[in-house]
Structure 1
Amino acid sequence: MFARRAGLLRVQQPFIKPNALRPFSTTELGSGVKIAYDFFEPAKEATAKDAPIVFIHGLFGSKRNNGSMSKVFARELNRPVYAIDLRNHGDSSHDPRHDYTALAEDVEGFLEKQNIKDSTLIGHSMGAKTAMAVALRKKTPISNLISVDNAPVDAALHSGFAKYVKGMKKIEEAGFKKQSEADAVLKEYEESMPVRQFLLTNLMRGPDGVMKWRIPIKYLSDALNNMADFPFNNPDEARWEGPALFVRGTKSHYVADEMLPTVGRFFPRFELADVDCGHWVISEKPEDFRKAVVEFLQDKE
């Protein structure tokens, strides 16, 4: 059912020569939604077996969060990497509909428009459930699935997300002209500076000098319950037989031990990588995450 990997040791990350990075581009889908993305070229010319990786961020994140790791994967795995912005995030379109079916349709549309076949989908949190939904829908063939700290279950979001929305709304209404003022308000809702810095990457200065959110807070606030759900509830009716890696933070509740049988029913070939951290696996333990992904994908070549 699954292979439990030994604890991963953190080591100093080696110097990585920067990859070629185009300024972000956009792809307009048939639905009218525009998906923004960064493209990272591999060091050598990719062959047919070097299928692209599509990297999908979590709630309140963006393609920028995955830029450094995308460079690493492009170099070490010699694969093209697309780091995308989901709808209502980063530089992609805003739309009142925000649920996993819509997000999966966007990713499928992006793969089709870019003529990407047999890709590896890597998703964190909201991006993980989106990637799982793409695999289970079977509308677009993918080769590998990597889910980072989420499971194919209906489960309540961490209470912090609702608090973040309250703080972000308060900032939106205040009309601040300094990011430090916004951070002071956000500190009332989140003590962790790295988490606040992550949220504040969504703040931008408008033409009038006032700080504004680049993401639609109302749409995402209304969608919080959708983000706790999962669009499939019967593994007998929806199952994906391809190779899957589930990377979980052992201090996070999103992939608890009691969820693993359900993971195995939906994804019978899954492997498990435990990382000693919380929910923000990629930023908390980047080397452990890198090692788990590279080892998994190299095994599949």
Structure 2
Amino acid sequence: MYALPRCIQPVYAPILHPKYLNRTRVPSPCPSSGWTRSFHASQNLRIHQLAFDHHDNGGKATGSPIVILHGLFGSKKNNRSMSKALARDLSRPVYALDLRNHGNSPHDSTHNYTALAEDTEAFLQQHKLKDSTLIGHSMGAKTVMTMALRDPDCCSNIIAVDNAPVDAALASDFPRYVEGMRKVEEGRVKSQKEADAILEPYAKDLPVRQFLLTNLIRPSPSEPLKFRIPVRTLANALDDMADFPFTNPDERRFNKRALFVRGTKSHYVTDETLPIIGRFFPRFELVDVEAGHWVISENPESFRRGKPQRLL
């Protein structure tokens, strides 16, 4: 399967979208007084050290770094194959992160894009990563967009996979997934098979259930399986995951290169969002990949072929 040619320019050329630059102002702009520059925590947030995997192709990857962020209910493991491929193909070190409340990273009752951005900004500072390419899928996409608008100097460019810088309700699937995961924990299951049977009414597609069930762990041999992610915390954060911290592109803008990749079967980046993307990210380029929302895992080869080499 190949990336669909919705954009006229070739994938490998940076593109400017001037027709999106002079649209009407986004309504109800919010004041930016709460914005803080990169690497400086706001007073109300606690910064967490994030778990990560480092891929450097056996020490041969020496270029500028790539940092890749997963989506909601995911982890760094979701991006392991792609991270290895990018490190090998581009000779650039790749850092695949676990965002807070996911994977092996710490849990916190606060889960919004400002918190996710500040954790990741601190990671860049701690590991002295400069001129990075930030890649994020879904929740990770809004996180890298938030970082780019908070402090454009924090990275060289961004790749946002299947999300847009707008307030938009999550698909109704996500609340069902949360309910299903709660039922699994209430069932005190002893096996993946039992968990899958309980989850099936809430997630009909087997690949989605398999994805969600990667979060199941057994705390000890005698205990039932449980999710390593804090299901209740993430359930309470679903509204925050639908929001975007910035509403006025006249106040915050990222004038470096930005690639937006969307799945052709997904609704998260509609044509109606393109003018807003163009105002926040005036040098953005759009690439479509034949896939649903989980673009990288559903169609990794098209994602790899569709990446702009001059951006990466």
What TM-score do the two structures reach when normalised by structure 1? 0.87
Superposition pairs of residues 286-297 of structure 1, within 5 angstroms = 286-293=300-307, 296=308
Q: 1:5 to 1:249 in 2, by over 3 A?
A: farther
C-alpha separation between the residues in 2 aligned to 1:172 and 1:233? 38
Name the structure with the higher strand share: 1
How many angstroms does 1:139 deviate by? Answer: 6.7
Alignment partner, residue 244 of structure 1: 258
**AA paired with 2:201?**
E
1:194 counterpart residue number = 207
2:188 and 2:141 map into 1 onto residues whose CA distance is 34
| Residue identity in the other structure for 2:258 | A
- d(CA) in 2 for partners of 1:247 and 1:63? 19
1:5 Cα deviation (Å)?
5.2
Which runs of 5 or more structure 1 residues have no equivalent in the other structure?
A: 8-28
Offset at residue 147 of structure 1 (A): 0.4
In structure 2, relative to structure 1, the CA distance for the partners of 1:138 and 1:174 (3 Å cut) is: same
Task: Extract structure 1 runs of 4+ deviating beyond 6 A.
Answer: none
Distance change in 2, residues 1:300/1:59 (3 Å): closer
- C-alpha distance in 2, partners of 1:43/1:242? 31
- The Cα offsets for residues 162-193 of structure 1, whole Å up to 9 and x where unpaired, read as 00000001111111111111100110111110
CA distance in 2, matches of 1:179, 1:242: 45
Give the CA RMSD over aligned residues: 1.8
Identity %: 60
Residue 105 of structure 2 corresponds to which residue in structure 1? 92
Provide the rounded CA distance (Å) in 2 between the counterparts of 1:77 and 1:161.
Answer: 34
Among residues 51, 55, 58, which one is paired with 2:64 in the alignment? Answer: 51
1:39 paired to 2:54? yes
Q: CA deviation at 1:283?
A: 1.1
SS in structure 1 at match of 2:116: helix
Equivalent pair of 1:120/1:146 in contact (CA under 8 Å): yes
Contact 1:41–1:80 (CA under 8 A) maintained in structure 2: yes
Give a deviation string over 1:202-232, Cα, whole Å, max 9, x none. 0011213310110001110000000000000
Q: Relative to structure 1, is the Cα distance of residues 70 and 174 closer, same or farther in structure 2, using a 3 angstrom cutoff? A: same
2:237 alignment partner, one of 223, 228, 234: 223
Aligned to 1:279: 293
Aligned-partner SS, 2:133: strand
* Superposed counterparts of 1:2-13, under 5 Å: 4=8
Q: 1:23 matched to which residue of 2?
A: none
Deviation at 1:257, TM superposition (A): 0.4
Moved more, 144-153 or 36-45: 36-45
Q: Give the length in aligned residue pairs.
A: 274
Aligned partners of 1:142 and 1:173: how far apart in 2?
Answer: 43
By how many angstroms is 1:148 displaced?
0.3
Identify the structure with bigger relative contact order (alpha carbons < 8 Å, sequence gap 6+). Answer: 2
5+ long unaligned stretches in structure 2? 1-5, 12-40
Q: 1:141 Cα shift?
A: 2.2
Residue 87 of structure 2, aligned match among 45, 69, 74:
74
TM-score (norm 2): 0.84
Which residue of structure 2 aligns with residue 211 of structure 1? 225
C-alpha displacement at 1:58, in angstroms?
0.0
